[in-house]
């Protein structure tokens, strides 16, 4: 039975650098406050009306395909992970397919937010193992800056996120002991509203009955239709993401090590066997606590949230590709990927490079 490997990677980040000092000009925050709580120094923002999650994904995908020694016509299937799609529907998968001239092949969109790339990797791995496809393109791309609240009201969320894209070609291989060794996926919907972007939406407050402070002020509702936006939603800032930061932090610090140990146990490895850990770039303080919990040295963990912020579904492929480009991942290394985010969803993957 064939198994899968990462045959090529690429990433793209927009040219525009937005520093903490830049954010000080539009909201009540400071460089010191942001660094202390998140570790972030700067992030990238895409060009409005010129770049999208899809166009950034194409940039990353072109690099990944070239590095895999393939052409666009060699790709059998596309998996696109994002929480900031170009359109409500259709998804970015078909838009990327159109832009890259891959007409006719399947395109799957997944909405697993911060865990999106891990979920995409696991899905691709299963397709390869089944023999259904030979070359799968997976993309994580985010255009966060188009949907953030750039006022003091939204600072706790806004200062964290940046834009960018990462991509990988997952390919069938017969080489034993190499490639994707195991993936593990989890979710717990009890905490869905702790990190969410739920207005405008069709829920009508159904899931927020015990959280009156989060319910939308719908005003006078029409007789028909469920998805609409009111002036009250805009005025109350209900059209922006909401996050219970302390709650997310607490659960992330718990679930990261848990799912990493799960992957190690499945393959008969221990923490000391990990050559490089690439955590989802949620918050540098979370990564540091997870690292301390596991007892891993600094040179075996790669973080780049300091310069890119949290790019959600794009953060793992960006960090993985950048670490590889810098020579921090070498042939034969055991690489562990892990993510935790909205849903709550979390997951891990163990790869023999």
User: 3-class DSSP state for residue 151?
Assistant: coil
- Residue 100, token pair as written in the block: 């890259």
Q: How many residues does the chain have?
A: 353
Which position among 280, 283, 304, 336 bears the catalytic label?
280
Identify whether 310 is a catalytic site residue. yes
Distance of CA 316 to the CA centre of its chain: 7
Output the CA–CA distances (angstroms, integers) from residue 173 to 4, 127, 230, 313, in the order listed. 6, 13, 53, 26
Q: What is the CB neighbour count within 10 angstroms for residue 237?
A: 13
Which position among 92, 112, 114, 269 bears the catalytic label?
114
The residue with tokens 């995908």 is 61
Torsion of CA 292, 298, 304, 305, to 10 degrees: 20
86-120: b (≥16 Cβ within 10 Å) or e: beeeebbbbbbbeebebeebbbbbbebbbbbbbbb
- Residue 141 pairs in a beta bridge with 165
- Residue 210 pairs in a beta bridge with none
Identify whether 280 is a catalytic site residue. yes
Identify whether 336 is a catalytic site residue. no
- Considering only CA atoms, which of 127, 80, 141, 75 is closest in space to residue 108? 80
Q: Which residues are catalytic?
A: 114, 280, 310
């Amino acid at each position: 039975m064939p198994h899968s490997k990462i045959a090529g990677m690429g990433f793209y980040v927009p040219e525009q650098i937005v520093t903490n000092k830049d954010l000080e000009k539009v909201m009540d925050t400071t460089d010191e406050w942001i660094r202390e709580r998140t570790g972030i120094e700067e992030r990238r923002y895409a060009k409005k009306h010129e770049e999208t999650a899809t166009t950034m994904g194409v940039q990353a995908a072109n690099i990944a395909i070239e590095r895999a020694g393939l052409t666009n016509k060699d790709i059998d299937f596309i998996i696109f992970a994002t929480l900031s799609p170009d359109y409500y529907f259709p998804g970015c998968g078909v838009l990327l397919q159109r832009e890259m001239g891959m007409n006719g092949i399947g395109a799957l969109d997944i909405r697993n937010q911060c865990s999106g790339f891990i979920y995409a990797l696991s899905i691709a791995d299963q397709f390869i193992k089944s023999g259904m496809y030979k070359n799968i393109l997976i993309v994580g791309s985010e255009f966060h800056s188009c949907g953030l609240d750039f006022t003091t009201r939204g600072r706790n969320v806004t200062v964290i996120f940046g834009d960018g894209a990462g991509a990988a070609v997952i390919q069938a291989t017969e080489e034993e002991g190499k490639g994707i060794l195991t993936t593990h996926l989890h979710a717990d919907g009890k905490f869905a509203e702790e990190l969410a972007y739920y207005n405008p939406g069709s829920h009508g407050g159904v899931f927020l009955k015990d959280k009156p402070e989060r319910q939308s002020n719908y005003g006078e509702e029409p007789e028909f239709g469920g998805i609409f936006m009111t002036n009250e939603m805009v005025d109350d800032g209900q059209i922006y993401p909401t996050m219970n930061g302390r709650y997310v932090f607490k659960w992330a610090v718990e679930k990261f090590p848990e799912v990493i140990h799960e992957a190690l146990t499945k393959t008969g490895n221990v923490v000391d066997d990990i050559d490089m850990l690439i955590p989802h770039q949620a918050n540098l303080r979370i990564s540091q606590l997870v690292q301390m919990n596991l007892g891993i040295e600094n040179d075996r963990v790669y973080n780049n949230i300091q310069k890119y912020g949290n790019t959600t579904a794009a953060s793992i492929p960006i960090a993985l590709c950048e670490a590889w480009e810098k020579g921090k991942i070498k042939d034969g290394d055991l690489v562990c990927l892990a993510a935790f985010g909205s849903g709550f969803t979390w997951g891990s993957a163990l790869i023999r490079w």
